[in-house]
Amino acid sequence: NPLKYYENNVGGTLNLLAAMSAKGVKTIVFSSSAAVYSPNDKDAVEETDPTVPLSPYGATKLLSEELISSVGNAERISHVSLRYFNVVGSAIPEFGDNSKDNLVPKVFLALKSGKRPEIYGSDYPTPDGTCIRDYVDVRDIARAHLAAANATTKLPDTMNIGTGRGASVREIIKLVLDATKKSDTKVIEVERRAGDPAFLCADVTLAKSAMGFESKYSLEESVRSLF
């Protein structure tokens, strides 16, 4: 539903920037996404790599970044767009991600409903045939926001927020199955989803050098935090 993404992400960003301009607000930390990047075969994606998004979601995040940069430069607004990779985990279980589109909550939901988890595509050019992603804990995301908001020097316009390490869909599902003591559950393999690159992992050098940020939560800690 591209129209909904453009209305919410781009329209919402325009409204926010207009309100900031009207009220003289001079700082913004924007939640962007690794979905802005083009597929590539690099071990880690850098902020300077090509941005040709595969999805309307990624396209609207990239356009929002450009709007923020343009208005920020024109009106001297301190701005930075944090490109999250795959967010996982929770400070407390009640705040857990209930999205039907994200892998970890989908696996939990399937198990809770007495169903088997699904793998979308098992023939990717990766070690176990499933997509590899960089999973970053939501508590680290919060820490990155604080670091950006409290920065005393000018930050780059965009920065990756991830761990710099990749995990496959099979590995993630196994972690959830082990954590829920359902290790003998068999997965279902179905067709690939359009727009899913085989590999997407963050180069986190810039966030570390610009604002001293490094992730601290492990993937195991993130999964355990959800129940």
> Which residues form the catalytic set?
57
Tokens, residue 34: 């690794």
Tokens coding 54:
């595969």
Q: 6 exposed, middle or buried (CB, 10 Å; 0-12, 13-18, 19+)?
A: middle
DSSP assignment of 60-96: HHHHHHHHHHHHHHHHT-EEEEEEE-EEE--SSGGG-
| Three-state DSSP state, 160 | strand
What's the rounded Cα separation, in Å, for the pair 39 and 45? 9
Q: What type of residue sits at position 145?
A: H
